[in-house]
Structure 1
């Protein structure tokens, strides 16, 4: 685990902190589609991503989901940090976008490391900043972009995160994450295909212009 830590976080953390993470962290592998955290869960550990990607979702009162942002290698989740500090229940759902490797850090270490290691404190602040910017982008997309623009942005982001221009999600799954209906998504996907942005196939979507 120490080699993966150094490879992904060696440029951020000093040697002493990397060794502590190696001592107290728990290595975890999750397969694509696995749920890492659900709304209402108490959080006992925060994740450091070693590889893969995790999508963070919010849910409304009717059970409909909205994609907030993706976590990638070298990231952690600001929403998890907030819940850890306040010892409150999770307000987000985290699902592996693809096969993912993580190191889970006990929440008891967060405050200790924040006072002990400047690099950890900076990492936490930067994580808050980056996730806030990503949520603001999501809000801007909802408020200012037309649904076809949101859909194309969503498809390009999924292709970038998975490093694959083939999207295997169903029209219904895409509709859930964009908080709209399957009929709307199917109509807009056909429009994007006519514009030459994508190719629609029976079981997948190909992004042509990433």
Structure 2
């Protein structure tokens, strides 16, 4: 574990902090599609992402989901940390987008490390800032962009994080992430195909306009 922690966080964390994480952290290998934390649960551990991608979702009163942002290598979830500090229940759902390697750290260490390690303090503050910008970007997309623009941006992001121009999600899965219907997504994909931005295949979507 220690080698992977140094490779991921060595430029940001003090050596003694990495030693502590290695000693008390829980190492997890999680397959794609697994729910790591769910709405309504109390958060007992903070996730540090060593590899892979996690998507963070919000749910409305009708149980429909909206994709908020992705977590990638070296990141953690600021919403999770806010729940920890307030000892409140989670308001988000975190699901592995790809196979992921995660180190789970007890929440009791969060405040202790904030006072003890400059590297951890900077990491947490940067994480809050980054997540806030991503949430603002999500709000801007919903408020100011047409759904076809949101769809194309979503597909490009999926392509970027998977390092693959071929998107293998179903139209229904895309609709859930974008908080819309499968019929609307299918219609927009057909329109984007006519515009030569992508090509639809039987089991995948090929992105052409990157």
Tell me the TM-score normalized by structure 1: 0.99
Deviation at 1:162, TM superposition (A): 1.4
Q: Partners in 2 of 1:50 and 1:69 — Cα distance?
A: 17
Partner deviation per Cα, 1:166-190 (whole Å, 9 max, x = no partner): 1111111111110111111001000
What pairs up with 1:130-209 in 2 under 5 angstroms?
Answer: 130-209=130-209
Equivalent residue pairs, number: 210
CA deviation string 1:57-111 (max 9, x = no partner): 0000001000000000000000111011111110000000000000001000001
CA contact under 8 A between 1:97 and 1:162: conserved in structure 2? no
Q: Give CA deviations for 1:110-130 in whole Å, capped at 9, x if unaligned.
A: 010000001101100000000
Structure 1's consecutive aligned runs of 4 or more residues displaced over 2 angstroms after TM superposition are none
Q: CA deviation at 1:9?
A: 0.2
1:59 corresponds to? 59
Instruction: State the Cα distance separating 1:209 from its structure 2 match.
Output: 2.3
Unaligned runs of 5+ in 1: none
Normalization by structure 2: what TM-score? 0.99
Residue equivalent to 1:18: 18
Q: Does 1:89 align with 2:106?
A: no
Can you give the 5+ residue segments of structure 2 that lack an aligned partner in the other structure? none
Cα root mean square deviation, aligned = 0.7
- Contact 1:76-1:127 at 8 Å conserved across structures: yes
